[in-house]
């Protein structure tokens, strides 16, 4: 059942299970683009700085954590996958 659920969610959410940010009611961006936009906004609001350490605890490959690590030029990157 879990595999079916994940496949349905991947199909609906364009391989990104994060929430998205649409800029207006007319914005017809796909979920992937809207999710990337939301991630960029979070990183900006977080104020990522050089030397930060990044820990990603999640269920996927850690795309958001990689983007945060790039923005902060993180020296340490650790990812933990939870199933």
pLDDT of residue 8: 73
- The residue among 19, 30, 16 whose CA lies nearest residue 59 is 16
What is d(CA 35, CA 39) in angstroms, rounded to the nearest whole number? 6
Residue 45 lies in domain: 2-81
pTM above 0.85, yes or no: no
Give pLDDT tens digits for 43-71. 888 887 777 777 777 766 677 777 888 88
Q: In whole angstroms, how far apart are CA 21 and each of 1, 37, 55, 59?
A: 29, 6, 23, 21
Would you state the pLDDT for residue 73? 78
**CB contact at 8 A, 54 and 79:** no
How many domains would you assign to the chain? 1
pLDDT for the residue 26: 95
Minimum mean pLDDT among 1-5, 13-17, 30-34, 78-82: which range? Answer: 13-17
């Amino acid at each position: 059942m879990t595999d079916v659920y994940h496949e349905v969610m991947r199909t609906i959410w364009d391989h990104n299970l994060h929430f998205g940010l649409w800029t207006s009611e007319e914005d017809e961006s796909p979920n992937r683009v809207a999710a990337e936009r939301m991630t960029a906004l979070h990183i900006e609001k977080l104020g990522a700085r050089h030397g930060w350490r990044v820990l990603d605890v999640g269920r996927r490959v850690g795309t958001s954590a990689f983007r945060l690590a790039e923005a902060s030029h993180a020296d340490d990157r650790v990812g933990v996958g939870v199933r």
